[in-house]
């Protein structure tokens, strides 16, 4: 029977890894250029750090690690007999696998508070684990790529994060729309119409305008329990359109009686006007953007790819009190998270991987026997010293086998160095794509391999 891996997990082979490295390195470089520094936290955290941070559902989806040694030693007969899985899991397990990067980051900040310089800008690219039911595009192990800055309320951080998103997707060549909203605007709307518990229903209904039309939206609001006065007040918002400036102008009027709402408008306006003109072009105020309403407190971001039908490929926002859960109140922050798996799919669908990012070995020396191979090893050292990836086929196998190895690995050049070439001090270089073969002096070899 073939061995297998746990459901919801994946092996990444050479080609997938090259593509994933390209994604992570691109994101990493942009983060670093903006002064974000990398940290890593352990895969295992104490369950006391993780439990209660992701809601009841999250507690259930944590992977828990059985205590080593006699995990039953301190369990009483009664406890065992009760067979309560939640209780016994907590008694059998002290540690769990990281569920996201945010809680470990909060724990890190509190634990290392004395060493950290505020504002602290960190990025983190590591896998997380969730015992979710696996399905298409949802895995039990997946990478998150987060950047957060804590210890600064300045909106310049929001501006910088928008810039980072722009730079990353521009590096990838993915055309995007960066949507921005603000939690305070949503709170303001709820205040103005006197229905603070219905804000999610309202954004969901408004989001359907294109599909069901204005009457449809109003009907949905009505059946959701809004009275006619409220619905009347919402009309300018439902029909909100035009440039960002025009939208903000409308929002100012609608929210005129809500201090919180106006504060939200100001925050979004600050971010928009501080971006360069070019950057502003891809950013769109979207009132229906309502992600993470239970923890975001200011700006909210979401990135959509323009040329591929897929959910959001990046998101983030500002939160208050990241570290309050660990006894360090008053630390505000703002962060974003790139969805590496979806970006991978988008780059695949649009065929946007740069050739040199996914290319492996550039040259294979065919092995004609011990003496020739020893000679090729010396040539290979020379080529490698120029930073070019090169292999000598390890066995003096049949020519056909060696050539098909080169083909299967998509190696663009093959060098044939037999007795004649050794005597002449030359190399027969074959271009595997064109089939062209030519004889080169050894010192011409590196130049002929191109970049």
Q: Which of residues 380-419 bind its own copies (CB under 8 A)?
A: 381, 384, 387-392, 394-395, 405, 408-409
- Min dist CB 129 to its own copies, Å, is 7
Q: Which residues contact 253 (CB under 8 A, 6 or more apart)?
A: 236
Confirm or reject binding of residue 44 to its own copies (CB under 8 A): yes
Helix pair 340-350, 14-33: axis angle to 10 deg: 110
Q: Which of residues 47-66 bind its own copies (CB under 8 A)?
A: 48-49, 60-61, 63-66
**Beta strands 283-285; 176-182: pairing state:** parallel
Candidate segments 2-10, 191-199, 335-343, 418-426, binder of its own copies by CB under 8 A: 2-10
Site track for its own copies across 88-107, x = CB under 8 A: xx--xxxx-x---------x
Q: For its own copies, give the closer residue by CB, 41 or 244.
A: 41
Confirm or reject binding of residue 5 to its own copies (CB under 8 A): yes
Site track for its own copies across 20-39, x = CB under 8 A: xx----------xxxx-xxx
Contact 334, 324 (CB under 8 A): no
Among 58, 127, 134, 224, binds its own copies (CB under 8 A): 127
Write the DSSP string, 322-365: TTGGGT-----EEEEEE-HHHHHHHHHHHT---HHHH----EEE
d(C-alpha 312, C-alpha 298), whole Å: 19
Among 43, 293, 310, 422, binds its own copies (CB under 8 A): 43
Confirm or reject binding of residue 227 to its own copies (CB under 8 A): no
Size of the site for its own copies (CB under 8 A): 103
d(C-alpha 12, C-alpha 77), whole Å: 45
d(C-alpha 413, C-alpha 440), whole Å: 13
Confirm or reject binding of residue 70 to its own copies (CB under 8 A): yes
d(C-alpha 231, C-alpha 238), whole Å: 9
Which H, E and C letters describe 198-230, residue by residue? HHHHHHHHHCCHHHHHHHHHHHHHHHCCCCHHH
Write the DSSP string, 290-309: -TTTTTEEEEEEEEEESSS-
- Min dist CB 345 to its own copies, Å, is 18
Confirm or reject binding of residue 245 to its own copies (CB under 8 A): no
Q: Which of residues 167-226 bind its own copies (CB under 8 A)?
A: none
Residue 331 tokens read as 């630390």
- Min dist CB 330 to its own copies, Å, is 15
d(C-alpha 304, C-alpha 315), whole Å: 9
- Min dist CB 118 to its own copies, Å, is 8
- Min dist CB 64 to its own copies, Å, is 4
Q: Which of residues 329-368 bind its own copies (CB under 8 A)?
A: 360-361, 364, 367
Q: Which of residues 143-162 bind its own copies (CB under 8 A)?
A: 149, 152-154, 156-157, 159-160
Helix pair 228-238, 244-254: axis angle to 10 deg: 160
- Min dist CB 420 to its own copies, Å, is 22
Candidate segments 75-83, 173-181, 425-433, 439-447, binder of its own copies by CB under 8 A: 75-83
């Amino acid at each position: 029977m073939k061995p297998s891996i746990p459901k919801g997990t994946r092996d990444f082979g050479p080609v997938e890894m090259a593509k994933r490295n390209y994604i992570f390195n691109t994101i990493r470089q942009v983060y670093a250029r903006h002064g974000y520094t990398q940290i890593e936290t352990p895969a295992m955290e104490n369950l006391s750090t993780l439990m209660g941070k992701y809601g009841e559902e999250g507690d259930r989806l944590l992977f828990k690690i059985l205590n080593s040694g006699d995990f039953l030693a301190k369990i009483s007969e009664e406890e065992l007999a009760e067979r309560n899985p939640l209780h016994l899991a907590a008694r059998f397990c002290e540690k769990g696998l990281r569920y996201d990067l945010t809680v470990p980051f909060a724990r890190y900040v509190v634990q290392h508070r004395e060493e950290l310089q505020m504002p602290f800008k960190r990025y983190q690219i590591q896998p997380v684990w969730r015992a979710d039911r696996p399905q298409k595009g949802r895995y039990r192990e997946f990478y998150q790529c987060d950047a957060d800055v804590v210890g600064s309320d300045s909106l310049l951080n929001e501006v910088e994060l928008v810039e980072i998103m722009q730079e990353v997707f521009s590096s990838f060549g993915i055309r995007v729309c960066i949507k921005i909203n603000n939690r305070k605007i949503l709170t303001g709307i709820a205040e103005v119409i006197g229905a603070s518990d219905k804000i999610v229903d309202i954004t969901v209904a408004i989001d359907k305008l294109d599909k069901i039309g204005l009457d449809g939206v109003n009907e949905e609001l009505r059946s959701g329990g809004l009275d006619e006065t409220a619905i009347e007040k919402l009309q300018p918002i439902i029909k909100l359109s035009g440039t960002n400036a025009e939208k903000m102008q409308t929002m100012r009027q609608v929210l005129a009686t809500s201090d919180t709402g106006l504060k939200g408008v100001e925050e979004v306006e600050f971010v928009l006007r501080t971006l360069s003109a070019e950057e502003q072009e891809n950013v769109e105020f979207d009132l229906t953007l309502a992600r993470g309403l239970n923890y975001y407190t200011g700006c909210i971001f979401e990135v959509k790819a323009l040329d591929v039908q897929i959910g959001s490929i990046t998101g983030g926002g500002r939160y208050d009190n990241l570290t309050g859960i660990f006894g360090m109140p008053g630390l505000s922050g703002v962060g974003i998270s790139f969805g590496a798996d979806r970006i991978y799919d988008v780059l695949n669908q649009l065929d946007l991987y740069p050739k040199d990012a996914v290319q492996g070995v550039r040259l294979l020396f065919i092995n004609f026997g011990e003496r020739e191979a020893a000679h090729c090893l010396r040539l290979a050292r020379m080529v490698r010293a120029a930073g070019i990836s090169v292999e000598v086929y390890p066995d003096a196998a049949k020519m056909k086998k060696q050539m098909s190895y080169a083909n299967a690995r998509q190696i663009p050049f093959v060098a044939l160095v037999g007795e004649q070439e050794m005597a002449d001090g030359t190399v027969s270089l074959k271009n595997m794509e064109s089939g062209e073969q030519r004889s080169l002096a050894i010192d011409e070899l590196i130049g002929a391999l191109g970049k």
